[in-house]
Structures are given as structure tokens and as C-alpha cells.
Amino acid sequence: MLQYTKNKIIMMALAALLLITGCSQQIATDQGTPIEPLVPVPGAEEESVFPLGQFVVKSSDVQITDLSVTKDGSMAVVATAAKVVYLLGKDGKPLWENQQATVPLQAHIAEDGKFVAIGTEGGNFLLLNSDQTEIAAHQFNAPVTHLDVSIDGELILVGLDEEEGRNNLVVLDKKGEIVWQQQVGEIIEAKIAGANKHVIVNWLEDGTSYLAAFSAAGEKLWELKQHSLLSLDKSGKIIISAKGKEINRYDQDAQKIWDVDVSGEINRVYVADNGGYLAAIMTDPNTQRQTMLYLDTDGNKLWEMPLPVDASVLVSADGKRIFVSSWGQYQDDVTQIFIYNEWGQEVNRLEVSGRLQKMAFAAQSDTIVIALNEGNIYFLNANTQNDFTNHESEKQQLVDYYQPVAFEREQEETYLTLFFYDKNAENLIPVTRRIKKSQSLLRDCVQELIRGPAQESQLLRTIPKDAHIVVSAKDGVAQLDLPAALDEMSGSTFIQGVVESLILTVSSVPTVEKIKFTVEGENKQTFGQEGVMIGESFPVQPLGREKGETLLFVPVRSGDKYYLLPISVDYLPLKEQALAEEIIRTVLLHYKQNFGHLLLLQKVTFEKDTIYLDLHSSFNKTLLDTAAAAARAAVLRDALTLSLAENLPYSTVVITVDGQEPKSGEHYLPWVLTVKKPYYINIER
């Protein structure tokens, strides 16, 4: 049987605030075609949640290639794959647009907004005043893949992708004249920092990573091997790099100040401009889930937290605001943005429709600028306070924590059983998702699994949101063709989760008898870098149970949400009384493991088609007058009733305490439950 328990992985809490897009008006610009910024609906109430500014790129190709904002948030420059660069005001209205011959890959605006630098795929470098008059220009023979400008605008650093594995580092003056250049390997990061305008560059060459510093005149000052993921403060006096699973801090002369060992693979490091804080993003090699570690300037750990799937991170100039965004965590096509302070406390949450491509932050005005895949640009107040406390209110109901078992469904709906991870990836939890009438139950199951869990479920997806799995069926065999991108990924828990969640989900389709995997249309013996065996067909396992196994339902929790988890147990042949007692003890044990309450069984009796289950009086102490307590009682009731009804010839279960009806309140469900088939567990809200 498939193993449900996994290594611990990470998740993040959910988000809540929905941004509303309003009507638009057309504005003509000095150059190029008209563009339509989004503006608030006239007459909208002051309390409505509108961005400070909105803009939409009017083009069939709305990929945002780069984004930069001034320190005060008054202007932002946006580069697009439509070969247009826009300069926007803080209200989202365009100040100008600049048409390029090729796609602009880099766009940078000075902190004070006095100039804009652009680098294109065709090798064009352009330096403009804020009024769009040209300061300098230079035509290179390779794409501009890196661009940075000194604070005073006197020096411009350009990285050119001249050939595979070889880049050219070029430093220009403000007139566009080349001051010096140096050929290096593949540039990872390059910056100009400090009053002395030292150029710090990190590159990869012949499998070895290098970190080096050059003077403003091009003299190499020092070089370190096996260092990558460069980040530094604005002064250039604090240089952070990674070496294996080690974070290193150096001074401007490459003297090591300290190093810190971490447990995961380091993917990125960030240093606040003022040098006070730094962040490191790490990946668990087994689960492929990411964690963010936050340190002070002396390398002391301040906090660590899990990140949502495919998270993007932005650290403010003073390090006192950390922005974490994710589009891939849940099923809806929304980007969630979580804002934390330097102590790791959540201070705000935002949610916008669409997939975030770029974001930038203006600390002086607490303005965050985000660019989405539909071409929408938002200027948002990052400091807007919202009440997202977890304290129970009068409006909370039992179903905010747990969805009780149901025995009926709407005639116009199809019910699918999908398996997602709990927040720790210890269990694959079945959820019932309702969709409109289905043309292909098999195809819908796989598509909905890829869409991911619902927001507020506190469950984690098992398959990346944009994965493409081809589904077909013949003679009872479900054929699942996996993409090569998944096959190339690593992480034992991650790869196993992909395969197992698909098997369990597809097993819920009545017409499927076996499940077969291929990769890009080819039969393979193993899947993923960890080599999960997929060479043979898999038998179906409805709710994870193989033929002949005993099915039980036990209560579990994922965050503050409660679920029924099906498990298979191998009991020795037991008679009716002994079997019922053993089933009840198993369910009560899982209840204690998840909720901390030790509940004792006093006796079990049988009468006609009913089982009477009497618990010790200590059970009443857990029955508080809250929706959460009622939800815990409900998930226990359902777990006991379904487990007994699945394995004994009784359909009704009555729960008592010392022979009396348990204490209850306004939120509580009846203590008598009769099972009818089919039944539906963990229904999504």
C-alpha cells in the first residue's frame, strides 16, 4: 500500500484582501499607440479598496520583463516583451512610452527619478532623462542581460550575453563611452556599490563560481572561488555570498567577517540596502519546499519561516519590510502577497487577480508596485492595515473548521475526490470538490488536482500549478503522460507525492481498473531524479485501500482545519465486540495525537442496527461553547461512525457520556448519525 506519511515540509497561511479593478479611460501619449490605465470607479466609497494607481499594457504580448521604482514611489519604469518601455506616475498614468527595436530586458530608474536606463535583447543601451530626452546611447553586439547604475549616475554597468557560458562585463560613463570591459563566464549577479563605485560581480565558469571586485577604473581588487548568489548593501562594505550550504559575509576587501551553516540548499540571498538585515532562501532537497531565514548584520538568526509554492521575495531598503508573493499555492488565479516586519510578524496581506511577474518597493511612501501577467500594473499602499487575526468571532461557524460528512449531493453537480498534502506533508488528505456535470470524470480529476487546493483549506498542492499532464483511458486502464519538466525534478518526497496523489485521485474514478504512467509518451521504468518506479501498471486504491484491507477514518488537522483521513489497518480476526472496541480505540488514539485530549471508552453495546458508544465523563470537558470545539466533536463523531459502519453490520451510531447525551451548545451537531452510501467527506466550501 502507498505510504501516506512524509517528511515535514512547509506552507504558509492564506490571504484575504481582493483588489477591485474599475473602469478605464483612454489617454494619448507623446509616442506610440494609446494606452488605457485603470482608474477607480467614479463615486466609489472611500472605504473601498482601490490601488493608489493602476495601468494596463495594451498589447497582445503583456509579459513584463523588468520593473523599477523611485525611492518615493512617484514614478516607475516598466519594460515589456511588446518592445515598449513605459514611465508611469504614482497614479498609474503614463508619462511617456518608448518604443524599442527589440525586447527591453533591463530597465532601471534612478532613486530620485532623474534618469532611466534601458538595455535590450538587441544590444541597445539607452540612458534617458525623466522627460525622455536622450543622455547617452550605445549599441552592443549581444543582449543586455544585466544592468546597474551608480547612485550618482556617473557609471553604468552592463552585462552582455555574448555566447553560451561567456559574458562580457562593460562599464560606461554617463555619456555612454566605454570606461573598461572584462570578459568573464556566465554572470550570476553584478552590482556597482559605494562612493568608490566598486564593481562586484559573481559569475560561473567551467563549473566553478567566482566572486570578484573591480575598481571604478577596471583594476581587479580581489577574487574568491566557489562563491555564488551575491548580494550586498548600498555602501558595498557588506558582501554576502553562498558557498555550498554556508552563508558568508565579507568586507569590501574580501576579508571574511563570519559564516553561517544552514540545512537546505541556498537559492538566493538578499541584503537590505542599509546593511542591517539579510535573508536567505533555502530549499529542502527532499520536498523541494522553500524556507526563508532572516539574519541580522552579525549573522544571528532572527527567525525562519516556510514559504508558499513558487514564492518571490523582496526585501525593503531598510530591511523592515519583507514581501513574499505566490501565485502557485492554491487553485484560484490569484497572487497572494504577505508583508512581514523585521521580526517575522505578518503586518498585512494583499491579493490580486493574475500571476505576478515583477514587484518593486518604494520605502519612503510604503508603495509596492506589482506587474501581473495580464499586463496590469498596480501601485499599492503596503501599509494598509487589515484585521486578519485568528481570534474566534461571533460569526465563526463549525464549518469554518470542518466540513461534516454528507450523504446527498446536488443533481447538477459532479463530485470529485482529490488528494492534497496537509501543511506538514505527513498525510495525503482526500477532499471532495464539486464541479458542474463532467464530460470526462478522469480528465476532470487530474485537471482539478493540478489546479490545487482551495484557499483557506490549509492544504498543499502535490503537483506544480502549470504542469501539463495528458490523460487518456482504454479498456479500464488510465494512461497518465507526465511532462519531462517533472521527470527532471528532484526531491524524494516531492516526486513520490506527484505519483501517489495521482494514483489515489484517479482511483476514485469508477471505470478505472489500472493506472499506467508514461513520460512524454515514452514508457519509463523510473520517474524523477530519485527514481520512483513507474514501469508497471498500478492497481486502483480507492481511498488508499487495497483489496482485503480494513478501512478506517481518523480525525486529523492541518493548521486550524480538521479533516477525515482514511487509513488501512491490518487487524487480526476479531469478533464483533472486540473489533468495535479496537476500531474505537484506534480512532481515539488519532484524536489524542492531533488534538491533545485523551478520551476513554467505557463500553460498546449493540441493538438492532445501532451501536451505542459510551465515553468517559472527561469527554464533556472538551465540549466548549465555541465553533472550534464543536468542529472537533463533529470530526470525532464522523470518524467513529464511518469507521464502525464500514466494518460492522450497523448503520447508526449513538454517542453518550456516562449513559447520557454529551454536553453540547449552539454549534454542535446531533450525537446520533446514520450512514447511507454513497457518502462524501471533506467537502470543499
For the chain, give the percent of residues with pLDDT over 90: 74
pLDDT at 34: 34
Phi-psi region of 344 (alpha: psi -120 to 50; beta: other; left: phi over 0): left
Q: Look at residue 38 and tell me whether its pLDDT is greater than 50.
A: no
pLDDT at 400: 95
CB proximity list for 475: less than 8 A, separation 6 or greater? none
CB atoms within 10 A of CB 359: 21
Averaged pLDDT for residues 255-274: 94
Say if residues 343 and 303 touch (Cβ distance below 8 Å): yes
Averaged pLDDT for residues 362-389: 80
Q: Which amino acid is at 580?
A: A
Q: Which three cell numbers stand for residue 291?
A: 524556507
Q: Look at residue 338 and tell me whether its pLDDT is greater than 70.
A: yes
Return d(Cα 97, Cα 104) in angstroms, integer.
Answer: 12
Sheet holding 672-674, edge to edge: 601-607, 610-615, 652-657, 672-674
Q: Look at residue 441 and tell me whether its pLDDT is greater than 70.
A: yes
Stretch among 57-66, 129-138, 265-274 having the lowest mean pLDDT: 57-66
pLDDT at 382: 87
Paired with 270 in beta bridges are 279
pLDDT at 384: 66
pLDDT at 260: 95
Residue in the structure block whose three cell numbers are 559575509? 249
Return d(Cα 172, Cα 126) in angstroms, integer.
Answer: 11
pLDDT at 491: 87
The pLDDT-based confidence of 394 (bands split at 50, 70, 90) is low
Paired with 462 in beta bridges are none
The pLDDT-based confidence of 666 (bands split at 50, 70, 90) is confident
Averaged pLDDT for residues 118-133: 95
pLDDT at 353: 87
Mean pLDDT of the residues in the chain: 88
Q: Which three cell numbers stand for residue 56?
A: 494596463
> How confident is the model over 530-569, as pLDDT tens digits?
899 999 999 999 888 777 778 999 999 999 999 999 998 8
pLDDT at 151: 85
Averaged pLDDT for residues 647-658: 96
Say if residues 250 and 242 touch (Cβ distance below 8 Å): no
pLDDT at 59: 77
Of the two residues 121 and 411, the one the predictor is more confident about is: 121
> How confident is the model over 553-612, as pLDDT tens digits?
999 999 999 999 999 888 778 889 999 999 999 999 999 999 999 999 999 999 999 999
Q: Look at residue 14 and tell me whether its pLDDT is greater than 60.
A: no
Which helix (H) or strand (E) covers residue 372, if one does?
strand 367-372
pLDDT at 372: 92
pLDDT at 388: 36
The pLDDT-based confidence of 70 (bands split at 50, 70, 90) is very high
The pLDDT-based confidence of 50 (bands split at 50, 70, 90) is low
Kindly list the distances between the CA atom of residue 675 and the CA atoms of 215, 556, 575, 611, 648, in Å, as whole numbers in the listed order: 78, 21, 22, 12, 12
Averaged pLDDT for residues 511-539: 94
pLDDT at 544: 82
Q: Is 95 helix (H, G, I), strand (E, B) or coil?
A: strand
- Residues, the chain, total? 685
pLDDT at 383: 78
pLDDT at 1: 41
Q: Which three cell numbers stand for residue 344?
A: 517575522
pLDDT at 570: 80
Beta-carbon-side half-sphere exposure of residue 241 (alpha carbons within 13 Å)? 29
The pLDDT-based confidence of 483 (bands split at 50, 70, 90) is very high
Say if residues 512 and 527 touch (Cβ distance below 8 Å): no
Averaged pLDDT for residues 235-251: 93
pLDDT at 339: 95
Return d(Cα 117, Cα 550) in angstroms, integer.
Answer: 67
Q: Which three cell numbers stand for residue 372?
A: 501581473
CB atoms within 10 A of CB 42: 7
pLDDT at 174: 87
Q: Look at residue 521 and tell me whether its pLDDT is greater than 90.
A: yes
Q: Look at residue 25 and tell me whether its pLDDT is greater than 70.
A: no
> How confident is the model over 147-201, as pLDDT tens digits?
999 988 899 999 999 887 789 999 999 888 999 999 999 999 999 999 999 999 9
Q: Look at residue 13 and tell me whether its pLDDT is greater than 70.
A: no
pLDDT at 103: 96
Q: Look at residue 449 and tell me whether its pLDDT is greater than 60.
A: yes
Q: Is 360 helix (H, G, I), strand (E, B) or coil?
A: strand
Of the two residues 130 and 386, the one the predictor is more confident about is: 130
pLDDT at 3: 39
pLDDT at 387: 38
Say if residues 584 and 41 touch (Cβ distance below 8 Å): no
Return d(Cα 561, Cα 544) in angstroms, integer.
Answer: 21
